[in-house]
Amino acid sequence: MVFVLLGSGFYFGKCFLFKPKVKNIILMIGDGMGPQQIALAMQYAKQAPHSTVSDRTLNLEKLSKDSYVGLMTTYTYENLVTDSAASATQLSTGKMSRSEIIGIDFEGNPQEVLVEKAKKIKMATGLVTNTRVTHATPAAFAAHVQHRGMENDIATQLLELQPDIMLGGGLRHFLPQSLEGFEEDMPSHLRLKSKRKDDLNLLKQAKSLGYDLTFSKQDLQASTSNKILGLFATSEHPDAIEIHAHANDTTYPTPNLKEMTQKALDVLSKNKNGFFLMVEGGQIDYAGHYNDAGWLLHEMLDFDEAIGAVYEWTKNRKDTLVIITADHETGGFGFSYSKNDIPEPKPLPGKAFEGSLFSPLYNFGNIEVLDQIYTQKKSFATIFDEFDALPENQQRPSALQSLFNEASEFKISLEQAKSVLMKEPNMYYRKGHKYLDQKEWPVICDFKEFFTYGDYTRLNLLARAIAKDQQVVWATGTHTSTAVAVIAWGPKAVREQFSGIHHSTQIGQLIGAQLR
């Protein structure tokens, strides 16, 4: 038996009698970020001829050098595959849950979530996301509802619990259904729309609770409050392709994930009792659902910039635990070798190939593809938003071809555009279903059961149209059961507990043990 005396506990083998504690906990979740998504960002950083990543090293890589790295399975009770709600609930409660449930275990009982635990011991708390603050992942750390779609109830519960910092999108769930009088009070970049079915004015309520309301990057940076509700978009934030296009525009109103994370750290660190902060890179998942490699790369780099902010804040500290993980993998992304455009044989300078040519049997992918993926000007979703906004008589294959080819280094033909727009009877039609209540469906010829989001399937078809040129393959339009990475940085006695292979409930229990 090994006996080691630690500053904060006695250690016998692998069993802590007194668990070592940290002052601050930062949980960073790349929604949909499997090992493949991490590899995409790392390959771009290291291999792209014109990589924009400083020193060709991701912040994730820098932080991981002094971390314990493990794997996490994400399955839920009685199911093979998770959604974000169940997975985040398991991370937040340490209990098994079911799909689409928020803050409730598999038996239907509400469980204490991490923000509740942290507040109980007088820690400051924060939630940061580039989706909606009421979306499944942030909600699972501060709310309890039967279904993730109950975002109006989630918004109400957020204000009941009162995390000190809430930054993201989702304004529509805080506005009363009657919007009279809001036009003159709100910034022009916000589209005023309410999703509520009542006249509760949660902004007014938040203000009465002491929140400083911020609706732009400029508002956020100017705030001196220790309690901030920042709602920067009606729904989710603009995608990271647009965010990066405005990186040097000081007048651009939407903060990026790094800027929100920095503000949260500045405010929460004032609490003498420490803090719990959850930061979500939520649109990694969106890009994965739509099989959009260019969008995915930009979201990964945006998340990595937020990791950089955390790394700079923590690197000289000994009182903080940082955990970087995912709730699941989305899309089944990967580069793959193919029989398309096989390279010509060529000589190599080494002795082993004297008198011979290097002749690969297949195309294993040219690294210049990484630059081409990065230079995508618009996400597939934005392209189709523009297409669908055209007058109906202009929504033709030629218009789609033009919109796409203007935005992408990878071009589609008119015939491919026609195929993307083709429809067939929906063999999985379900009346009243949020997505399946469509009599017609885009034509997808294989694994069609796994492309579940109606007309959004057109985006997946765009990905297939350029797959051979991108060297990219996708398995699905939904989630996979792929185990995800867990990267734990902090005091050795704490971070080493996260090494190895765990289930999401076990990771949740380890985090929860720090909040007692």
Per-residue pLDDT for 206 more than 70?
Answer: yes
Q: What percent of the chain has pLDDT over 90?
A: 93
CB 198 within 8 Å of CB 176 = yes
- Using CA atoms, how far apart are residues 318 and 7, in angstroms rounded to an integer? 12
Write the pLDDT tens digit of every residue in 283-339. Answer: 999 999 999 999 999 999 999 999 999 999 999 999 999 999 999 999 999 999 999
Please, are residues 36 and 289 in contact by the beta-carbon 8 Å criterion? Answer: no
pLDDT at 19: 66
pLDDT surpasses 50 at 7: no
pLDDT over threshold 90, residue 13: no
Mean pLDDT across the stretch 360-388?
Answer: 98
For the chain, counts of helices (H) and of strands (E): 20, 19
**Topology match between the domains 19-177+206-274+284-294+312-333+479-513 and 374-473:** no
Using 50, 70 and 90 to split pLDDT, how confident is the model at 187?
confident
Whole-angstrom Cα distance, residue 396 to residue 159?
Answer: 46
Single-letter amino acid code for the residue at 477: G
Reported confidence tier of residue 183, pLDDT bands at 50, 70, 90: low
Query: Residue 320's pLDDT is what?
Result: 98
Average pLDDT over every residue of 98-121? 99
Q: How far apart (Å, rounded) are the C-alpha atoms in residues 444 and 454? A: 11
Identify whether the C-beta of residue 79 lies closer than 8 Å to the C-beta of residue 323: no
Q: What is the mean pLDDT of the chain?
A: 95
Residue 3 has pLDDT above 50, yes or no: no
pLDDT at 506 > cutoff 80? yes
On whether the CB atoms of residues 304 and 57 are closer than 8 A, the answer is no
pLDDT of 443 > 60? The answer is yes
Q: Supply 481's token pair.
A: 């059961």
Instruction: Examine the pLDDT at 51 and tell me if it is beyond 90.
Output: yes
Rounded Cα distance, 87 and 330, in Å: 13
Instruction: Tell me the torsion sign for CA atoms 429, 431, 433, 439.
Output: positive
Strands 3-6 and 9-12, bridge-based pairing: antiparallel
Check whether domain 374-473 has CATH 2.40.50.100, yes or no:
no
pLDDT over threshold 60, residue 136: yes
d(CA 465, CA 412): 7
Q: pLDDT band for position 483 (50/70/90)? A: very high
Q: What are the tens digits of pLDDT across the range 346-368?
A: 999 999 999 999 999 999 999 99
Cα distance between residue 437 and residue 433, in whole Å:
5
Output the pLDDT for position 6: 40
Residue 294: strand, helix, or coil? helix
Pinpoint the alpha helices (H) of 378-413.
Answer: 380-388, 397-407
Give me the catalytic one of 84, 97, 99, 419: 84
Strand locations in 24-112 (E): 24-30, 68-73
The predicted model gives 419-444 an average pLDDT of 97
- Per DSSP, the three-state class of 421 is helix
Q: Which pLDDT score, from 0 to 100, does residue 116 have? A: 99
How far is the C-alpha of 300 from the C-alpha of 196, rounded, in Å? 32
Instruction: Quote the radius of gyration of the chain (alpha carbons, Å).
Output: 24
Nearest to 56 by CA among 68, 65, 64, 47: 47
How large is the average pLDDT for residues 167-184?
A: 88
pLDDT in tens, 88-104: 999 999 999 999 999 99
pLDDT of residue 339: 98
Pull the structure tokens for residue 224.
């001196």
Query: Cα–Cα distance between 131 and 30 in angstroms, integer?
Result: 12
CA dist 350 and 416 (Å) reads: 43
Q: Which contiguous run of DSSP H or E holds residue 259?
A: helix 257-268
What distance in Å separates the CA atoms of residue 329 and residue 479, rounded to the nearest whole number? 6
163: tokens are 């995390």
On whether the CB atoms of residues 73 and 504 are closer than 8 A, the answer is yes
Mean pLDDT over 388-411 rounds to: 98
Per-residue pLDDT at 184? 56
User: Which tokens sit at 79?
Assistant: 């199911």
Does residue 62 register a pLDDT over 80?
A: yes
503, β-bridge pairs: 73
- Residue 84's identity, in one-letter code, is S
Domain map (residue ranges) of the chain: 19-177+206-274+284-294+312-333+479-513, 374-473
User: Secondary structure of 179-228 in the HEC alphabet?
Assistant: CCCCCCCCCCCCCCCCCCCCCCCHHHHHHHCCCEEECCHHHHHHCCCCCE
Burial tier of 84 (Cβ tally within 10 Å: 0-12, 13-18, 19+) = buried
485-501: average pLDDT: 97
CATH superfamily of 19-177+206-274+284-294+312-333+479-513: Alkaline Phosphatase, subunit A (3.40.720.10)
Could you give the angle at the alpha carbon of 224 between the alpha carbons of 219 and 229, nearest 5°?
55
* β strands within 197-342, DSSP E: 212-214, 228-231, 275-281, 320-325, 329-330, 334-335
Parallel/antiparallel/unpaired status of strands 275-281 and 228-231: unpaired
Q: Is 194 a catalytic residue?
A: no
Average pLDDT rounded to a whole number, residues 2-30: 63
**pLDDT given for residue 441 in this prediction:** 97
